[in-house]
């Protein structure tokens, strides 16, 4: 799954420009890497907050989009919020996980036409320190 996912990410012009790559991918878990480069830095040489937001938001969407238990559903992104902790002058990684409890909430919500979850993503620097926390809210509906 990893090589195919990485090729797909590189085929999206913005993601290719940012240099985002899939580092780890298995059902329910995803790690994306945003490498430090001139294209993604701010005036101080740290990764720009918009690039950090982009990799975090993308990790949430991709971990859902690649989950087999959610493949028959339409995912509707409703909102994303981010909390920044510290700047990074190293590559960052975005870690997203879909737990069994989250899947249960979606299944229960489908029965009442109110299926939604929030996907948390931790963005870490090259030393494993928290750079940001991203929380994306998704609603779901059955495909027609």
Taking the CB of residue 72, how many other CB atoms lie within 10 A of it? 9
Q: Are 56 and 99 in contact (CB under 8 A)?
A: no
pLDDT at 30: 96
Instruction: Give the CATH number for residue 37.
Output: 3.10.129.10
pLDDT tens track for 4-20: 888 888 888 888 889 99
Please state, in angstroms and rounded to a whole number, the distance separating the CA atoms of residues 121 and 11: 23
pLDDT tens track for 81-107: 999 999 999 999 999 999 999 999 999
Please state, in angstroms and rounded to a whole number, the distance separating the CA atoms of residues 26 and 51: 24
pLDDT at 66: 92
Q: What angle do CA 43, 48, 52 make, to 5 degrees?
A: 170
pTM metric for this prediction: 0.93
Query: In this model, does residue 134 exceed pLDDT 90?
Result: yes
How many independent structural domains does the chain possess? 1
The CA–CA distances, whole Å, from 53 to 39, 56, 120, 134 equal 15, 5, 12, 7
Range of the domain at 36: 2-142
């Amino acid at each position: 799954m990893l090589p195919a996912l990485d090729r797909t990410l590189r085929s999206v012009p913005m993601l290719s420009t940012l240099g985002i790559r899939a580092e780890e991918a298995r059902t329910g878990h995803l790690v994306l890497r945003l490498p430090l480069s001139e294209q993604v830095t701010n005036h101080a040489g740290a990764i720009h907050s918009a690039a950090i937001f982009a990799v975090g938001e993308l990790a949430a969407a991709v971990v859902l989009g690649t989950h087999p238990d959610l493949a028959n559903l339409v995912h509707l992104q409703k909102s994303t919020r981010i909390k920044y902790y510290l700047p990074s002058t190293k590559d960052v990684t975005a870690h997203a996980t879909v737990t069994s409890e989250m899947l249960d909430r979606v299944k229960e919500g489908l029965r009442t036409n109110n299926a939604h979850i929030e996907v948390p993503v931790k963005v870490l620097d090259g030393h494993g320190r928290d750079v940001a926390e991203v929380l994306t809210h998704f609603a779901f509906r059955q495909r027609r």
